[in-house]
Amino acid sequence: MDNQLNQNLNTADLNGIHEYSELLSDILKFRARGEVPMALVRTYGCQQNVADSEKLKGMLKEMGCDFTEDENEADIIIFNTCAIREHAEDRVFGNVGALKNIKRRHPSLIIALCGCMMEQEHIAERIYKSFSFVSLVFGTHEIHNFPKLLYSTITENHRIVARGNDDGIIHENIPTLRDGTFKGWLSIMYGCNNFCTYCIVPYVRGRERSREPEVIMQEARDMIAAGYKDITLLGQNVNSYGKTLESKKTFASLLADIAELDGDFRLRFMTSHPKDLSNELIDVIASHDKICNHIHLPFQSGSDRILKLMNRHYDRKRYMEIVNYAKEKIPNLSLTSDIIVGFPGETYEDFQQTLSLIKEVEYTSLFTFIFSPRVGTPAAKMDDPIPYEEKSKWFSELLKVQEEIAAKRCESMVSKTYRVLVESAKPNGELTSRTEENIIVEFEGSEDLIGTFQNVEVTKARNWILKGKLV
Ligand code: SAH
Ligand code: SF4
Ligand code: F3S
């Protein structure tokens, strides 16, 4: 890479955000095609990226931008990318390629790429070389530098790649523009130290670091005061929250503190790594009404041999101990999980262990993935003799088993009444809502109910969507 590529822009000072945003507000207005500069921020990947995009939007708003979903209307386009699987990366490459013609028609358009993909050197390099119409590439550690980077690329008229600067500092007070008005994300920590052998996240998100409890509490209070009714605490492994703090506060006690705040809201969290889940946490969930009776508890594989190869640090027995304790303590507990099918060296017998675990636990829903090798991870170098077509067959077998389990669970909810948060209206006039268990219930009602809690009796189960009526 040439010198321009790896710029080490050293601006930990947060005033930089506001100063550069102010300078940019005139520049962007001048360059805009319409009255107001229009920005398009497209987010790929998980909630962590959604939360980062909310910061990008907060800063863009400070620069005077309005927002659009139409690429042809935008003066600035940002793709916030995900590196978790090859498919996710391919989508980004395809969608960036398609911007070439738009840039040709509107030469003043600024195209920026950021997020997890950009933290991989080989990807940043490929983007820089293949897409000369991309002005700015920056990684997950450079979000707070976005205004400065944007300012440099425009005023100095050169292309910038800024990545890999993992200083371990948490940059607080970045302006944020949340997507929702009653459902919101609250990051409690960043990064990951677990190095599961298949996973790229620790390489692109850096080392685990927790936000100070006071800062989180203040943000939670602000969200509740602003009318947020469904708050999800975010981290790659929330159960290890606090390990980097002097106070050594645990996740269980942070969760309890937030749940004890005044206001009518419900609290969720993700993701829970089974290796760090404590009984204390389960007791906290059980004893606080505001904490949803839902735990997303990825087990990845039901085979102990594969769990070891994955470096997950628990076995099936330990996982089932947690599940059984949680089921005993938390009434109507809803469990969801992530699963990888076709990890290198996984046999059909190993896969059968995953199926048997699914049947034993009876998950509400599953996020299932076929293993995708990621450059730089240990699993990408492991022997992987099973062809993709075979893995796809296993994958379909798993989906079928889960479909029956989910249908059975939905069936068991018929005739019961649930407190739901109304989320949106469908084109056919029905409302969509969600139970504490994270299950969708649709019912007839007026649009004014959006963003409120209602009691709904489930009348019918259709696959895994429930129909209901207002009580
Ligand atoms: N921190 C979370 C997961 C984040 S990634 C946790 O530990 O549970 C979300 C999910 O993507 C993972 O749980 C895993 O199931 C899946 N995943 C990660 N890397 C993958 C890969 N290389 N191939 C296929 N699936 C993968
Ligand atoms: Fe990836 Fe494992 Fe970290 Fe989750 S805990 S982000 S799967 S390395
Ligand atoms: Fe993707 Fe990055 Fe999340 S790789 S899954 S967006 S942490």
Q: What is the DSSP string of 259-328?
A: HTSSSS-EEEEE---GGG--HHHHHHHHH-TTB-SEEE---B-S-HHHHHHTT-S--HHHHHHHHHHHHH
Cα separation, 364 vs 368, whole angstroms: 13
pLDDT confidence band for 12 (50 / 70 / 90): very low
pLDDT of residue 156: 93
Smallest Cα–Cα separation from 7: which of 137, 176, 129? 137
pLDDT of residue 15: 57
**CB distance 50 to ligand 3 below 6 Å:** no
Number of the ligand 2 atom closest to the C-alpha atom of 193: 3
Q: For the residues 421-434, what does the mean pLDDT come to?
A: 95
Q: For the residues 262-272, what does the mean pLDDT come to?
A: 97
CA-CA-CA-CA torsion for 60, 64, 66, 67, nearest 10 degrees? -10
Name the residue of 42, 79, 82, 194 whose CB sits within 8 Å of the most ligand 3 atoms, as the mutation to test its pocket.
82
Q: What is the DSSP letter of 365?
A: E
| DSSP string of 3-50, one letter each residue | TTTS-------THHHHHHHHHHHHHHHHH-SSSS-EEEEEE-SSHHHH
With a cut of 60, say whether residue 32 has pLDDT above it: yes
Number of the ligand 1 atom closest to the C-alpha atom of 338: 15
Smallest Cα–Cα separation from 339: which of 321, 318, 319? 319
Averaged confidence pLDDT in the chain: 94
307 class by beta-carbon count within 10 Å (0-12 exposed, 13-18 middle, 19+ buried): buried
User: Which domains occur in the chain, in start order?
Assistant: 7-162 (3.40.50.12160), 183-412 (3.80.30.20), 417-470 (2.40.50.140)
User: Measuring from each residue's beta carbon to the nearest atom of ligand 1, which residues come in under 6 Å?
Assistant: 84-85, 198-199, 201, 236-237, 271, 273, 298, 300, 338, 340, 369, 371-372, 374
pLDDT of residue 276: 94
Of 109-118, 159-168, 272-281, 462-471, minimum mean pLDDT range: 159-168
Cα separation, 73 vs 68, whole angstroms: 7
pLDDT digits (tens, 9 = 90+) for 373-386: 999 999 999 999 99
pLDDT of residue 169: 87
User: Strand 453-462 vs strand 417-425: parallel, antiparallel, or unpaired?
Assistant: antiparallel
pLDDT confidence band for 463 (50 / 70 / 90): confident
Number of the ligand 1 atom closest to the C-alpha atom of 296: 8
**CB distance 199 to ligand 2 below 6 Å:** yes
With a cut of 80, say whether residue 345 has pLDDT above it: yes
Q: What is the largest CA-CA distance in the chain?
A: 66
Q: For the residues 283-305, what does the mean pLDDT come to?
A: 98
Q: For the residues 250-268, what does the mean pLDDT come to?
A: 98
With a cut of 60, say whether residue 83 has pLDDT above it: yes
Neighbours of 331 (CB within 10 A): 8
Number of the ligand 2 atom closest to the C-alpha atom of 312: 2
Q: Which residue has the higher pLDDT, 6 or 75?
A: 75
pLDDT confidence band for 165 (50 / 70 / 90): confident
Cis peptide before 232 (omega within 30 of 0): no
Name the residue of 340, 354, 363, 370 whose CB sits within 8 Å of the most ligand 1 atoms, as the mutation to test its pocket.
340
pLDDT digits (tens, 9 = 90+) for 135-155: 999 999 999 999 999 999 999
| Measured CA distances, 218 to 2, 174, 240 (Å) | 43, 14, 21
Q: For the residues 302-306, what does the mean pLDDT come to?
A: 98
Secondary structure (3-state) at 231: strand
Q: What is the DSSP letter of 207?
A: S
With a cut of 50, say whether residue 10 has pLDDT above it: no
Secondary structure (3-state) at 96: helix
Q: For the residues 304-323, what does the mean pLDDT come to?
A: 98
pLDDT of residue 5: 39
| Measured CA distances, 463 to 108, 441, 467 (Å) | 49, 12, 10
**CB distance 195 to ligand 2 below 6 Å:** yes
Q: How many percent of the chain have pLDDT more than 90? A: 93
- Please name the residue whose Cα sits nearest to atom 3 of ligand 3: 46
CA of 184 to the centre of ligand 3 (A): 18
pLDDT confidence band for 100 (50 / 70 / 90): very high
With a cut of 80, say whether residue 400 has pLDDT above it: yes
CA of 67 to the centre of ligand 2 (A): 33
Number of the ligand 3 atom closest to the C-alpha atom of 81: 6
**CB distance 117 to ligand 3 below 6 Å:** no
